[in-house]
Amino acid sequence: MTLAFDLIEQGFAVFPVNPETKQPFTTHGHLDATHDVELVATWFSLDYPQAVVGVHAGASGLVILDLDKKNGKDGFESVDEGWLEIPDSFHYDTPSGGRHYIYRAPADKVLAPARDYRSLAGVDRRGGSSYAVWYGDAPAPDMIKDAPNWLCDEAVSRTGSAFDGRLDEWLATADGEPDGRVIQAIQRIPKGEFDHVEMVERQMELVRLAAEGHPGVRVALDALRREWLRPPYDNADYAYEYDAGLDGCVKKFGATDSAITELPEYSTTLANLPSEFPINMLVGEAKPKKHFFDVLRLLCATEFDDYQVAAILWGAPTVKGWAREWGLQYVYKQIAELRAKNDVTIENPTLEAERVKIRDIQLLTDVERTEMSVYETFVERYLFWVKSKSRTVNVPYHRMNAVTILSLAYGMYGFIPEAEGAMGLNVFQIGLGESSTGKTRSLKMRDAVLREFFKGDENYDLGSDASIQALHDVLLKRDGRPSFFNADEAAVTFSQMVEQKWLAGMESFLTRLYEGYVPPMLRRGSDVTKPAMTSFNVAMYGTPDRVMDILTQDMFLTGFLPRFAWTIGDPPDDSDEQHKMSQASSRLMKLDYDPVARGFATEFMLIRRMIGTGRHPVRATEAALQRFAEASKLMKEQLIKHPLWRLIEPSWKRLASETVRKLASLIALSEGSLIVELRHAVYALQHAEEWVNNLVVVSEGISSSIFQKECDEVERAVVTSGGSMTKAKLVNRFRAWRFREFQERLESLIQQGRLREDQTGTKVEVNV
């Protein structure tokens, strides 16, 4: 109680908090925080003697930097990686290993609570209507300093505005069945305990979705309320906190933006696009930020007015995510600025159209495609089994897994004879796909088959988090047996290769293992000093944005990434029916034992016995070799037109000369044959169509991601300089770049609205 009185003397508003749950004891939660000494004495001496002290941040004139170090997050590291400085001020450590820094909040800004503030993991901001449990002593008045600029971003609503009606009136407008965006928001509702800040953030997200016109938000809000009031918190106090928070969100941001309702109908506007417009730039999965501005330039080059351009940007699948995140007013601003510059021409529209065509390379003739439609291989039988177990199937993932299974089953039993030596039948693959598109489900199916096949040899799966030394040791002991480097989160594996010293050299180590030869361990104490042979297979999965953000062009230009075949999963189906099917699928998936999986494993063993022990050459007929050569030439003729040909070429060479032939050989072996016939070659080329088109998409994504990362560096430099920096100083900061490169990145940041020039044109400022 003494601490509570001391804090009141400093002008802080306090209230009692349950030390176990960190939730307020009071009827209206932290909203009951007070400076009243008598009330505080009653709370802490009579009503809740076991309570610890909570401080209402906004009512106390404070903003609190809360650095967490738990649940895999490290706020201290996040601040360092964000190039942010923490000015000295009163602070104390928290029981979980974190720390609270206490600052005076600026009087001219309205702050709000934020979890993972500025997307910094483990960095929370307690400001406005939020609170912190106070673990320190009471500070002297001069110990609390002004908050740094970077901690004082105002929370702004990009969509929606003040709603004047009653809460029940607003809820009536949020009825309906949830669409895809709302379903995704429902999936982000925490399970288990979560605090007031997290609850309000989820409410804010859902209210903004309703303001954008998404149906079913009331369903999502009811789901959030149930989680918030789960026992033992199903009482009037917590119900009041929920209702008060929702009422506040609705009053601030609940009204549908009239500009959104006045947009022309998307489908009608789309139908009126000029016939020469590259429609493929608008359809498909969401694209990086740069794609938004590419589409904007193309649209402004048409005769569309601002409203029609905005309607396309607001509705097109490839760009609408960015448009709706930034808000319609920002979209109109970008249209106006681009028109004002009179810079809406396309430098090379023919090249843009050609690039779209390059993403649709076809290697089979119509006759071959008809023949392949009735040709059943292990891959088709595997897909049939998958579909019998799951009502929602993302076919590209399962095709990739089927190839991995074939390679692990037959990789040690065959090789392709080459003039330079034997080419193993192992494959390196990377699968990319958004969250909630079935990656995890597909891996369960794959692993069900592999577990049956590798019974008694559980060490075949090497995982992805071992050191090079440990991996080397294991591979030497696996002499004559296949091995599997398996990463469910490719971004984590790649970032470890780039950033962590204990994995330095992993990229080149994996590249050397591609041939299957494991060099001896020339290390004192090693019990295996002879070389080994293995069929080394790699399969990694990840989300496109995270993986693209880490990969570099150098990885393509060296020997590492060109060895991979790329799979891109189908985008998520946001329909309500698909969501219901997905839920039903999770109930169908019981794979502890499956007779079909065991049947596949038995089939592999029987065919291997039929082939015989040892490694066998798998030779191709003249017709098959001729077909491989024709397809390789056709790929090159189209790919060489792409402006990123230099980046694509190394991967094309590997794909055309190695990966396609490996798959054809695996298909032949799965039929018990050591001869690659024409049908095997054509079947492999059908897979190669997907691989080569995905290669183009990934190459463009890598190139775009590198540009964006360099833009982020420029923005970070301005932010860490207090939000303003002279152009001369900024140019000097990036003097290692050519001036034109620097200028392109600066202009992009200004165009995106992330930075702005001051009135004199000599300074660059953060656009807040």
Indicate the residue among 233, 259, 285 that finishes a domain: 259
- The pLDDT-based confidence of 377 (bands split at 50, 70, 90) is very high
How many alpha carbons lie under 13 Å from residue 327 in its C-beta half-sphere?
16
pLDDT for res 703 = 63
- The tens digit of pLDDT for each residue in 86-100 reads 999 999 999 888 999
Q: Find the mean pLDDT for residues 726-738.
A: 78
Q: How many domains does the structure of the chain reveal? A: 5
Q: Find the mean pLDDT for residues 148-173.
A: 68
Of all residues in the chain, the percent with pLDDT exceeding 70 is: 87
The Cα 170–Cα 727 span in angstroms is 48
Q: Find the mean pLDDT for residues 48-57.
A: 92
Q: Is residue 182 part of a domain?
A: yes
Q: Is residue 231 part of a domain?
A: yes
Q: Is residue 286 part of a domain?
A: yes
Indicate the residue among 102, 124, 151 that finishes a domain: 151
Cα distances (angstroms) measured from residue 393 to each of 373, 387, 578 = 19, 6, 11
- The tens digit of pLDDT for each residue in 464-499 reads 877 788 888 889 888 889 999 998 887 777 777 765
The Cα 677–Cα 623 span in angstroms is 8
pLDDT for res 526 = 53
Provide the token pair at 752.
């995106």
Long-range pairs, 470-475, Cβ under 8 A, ≥24: 471/509, 472/509, 472/518, 472/521, 473/521, 473/526, 473/528, 475/513, 475/518, 475/532, 475/534, 475/536
Average pLDDT, the chain: 82
In this model, does residue 390 exceed pLDDT 90? Answer: no
The Cα 484–Cα 427 span in angstroms is 10
Q: Is residue 136 part of a domain?
A: yes
Q: Is residue 643 part of a domain?
A: no
Residues 353 and 391 in one domain: no
Most confident of 530-534, 619-623, 700-704: 619-623
Q: Is residue 333 part of a domain?
A: yes
In this model, does residue 349 exceed pLDDT 50? Answer: no
pTM, full prediction: 0.51
DSSP 665: H
Residues 24 and 118 in one domain: yes
The Cα 746–Cα 757 span in angstroms is 10
Domain extent, residue 233, equals 167-259
Residues 414 and 477 in one domain: yes
Q: Is residue 156 part of a domain?
A: no
Q: Find the mean pLDDT for residues 559-575.
A: 82
Let me know: does 47 contact 32? Beta carbons within 8 Å. Answer: no
Residues 333 and 452 in one domain: no
Residues 400 and 507 in one domain: yes
The Cα 264–Cα 277 span in angstroms is 19
Residues 105 and 133 in one domain: yes
In this model, does residue 707 exceed pLDDT 90? Answer: no
- The pLDDT-based confidence of 180 (bands split at 50, 70, 90) is low
Residues 23 and 124 in one domain: yes
Residues 312 and 239 in one domain: no
Indicate the residue among 358, 392, 417 that finishes a domain: 358
Residues 574 and 438 in one domain: yes
Residues 198 and 335 in one domain: no
- The pLDDT-based confidence of 528 (bands split at 50, 70, 90) is low
- The pLDDT-based confidence of 202 (bands split at 50, 70, 90) is confident
Residues 405 and 450 in one domain: yes
Residues 605 and 490 in one domain: yes
Q: Is residue 71 part of a domain?
A: yes
Range with lowest mean pLDDT among 321-335, 343-357, 554-568: 343-357
The Cα 387–Cα 394 span in angstroms is 10
